Amino acid sequence: MDTKALRQKILDLAIRGKLVPQNPNDEPASVLLEKIREQKQQMFKEGKLKKKDIKNDSIIFKGEDNLHYEKFQDGTMKCIKDEIPFEVPEGW
């Protein structure tokens, strides 16, 4: 197996969560990201962050049409199906 193929295999295993044992009690990444968003909003209200620090925050989600979208702070959305180079596992 060449180095490039080995790197690709390791990346594939990492994406699928197969490199280390998974804890079924861990919360999903979506919950963690929401907590981070809330903390950033709180820090903005406290004056610890500036508007420019949170203006580019966005949320990526799967629409009813099964395609992935990015929703921006101003409410606009953009389809990002061409930007996802691999199938995203359920629960990401």
Q: What is the pLDDT of residues 29-54, one digit of tens each?
A: 888 888 998 999 999 999 998 888 88
pTM for the complete prediction? 0.56
Q: Is the pLDDT confidence value at 91 over 70? A: no
Contact 67, 60 (CB under 8 A): no
Mean pLDDT, all residues of the chain: 86
Percent of the chain with pLDDT over 90: 34
52-62: average pLDDT:
84
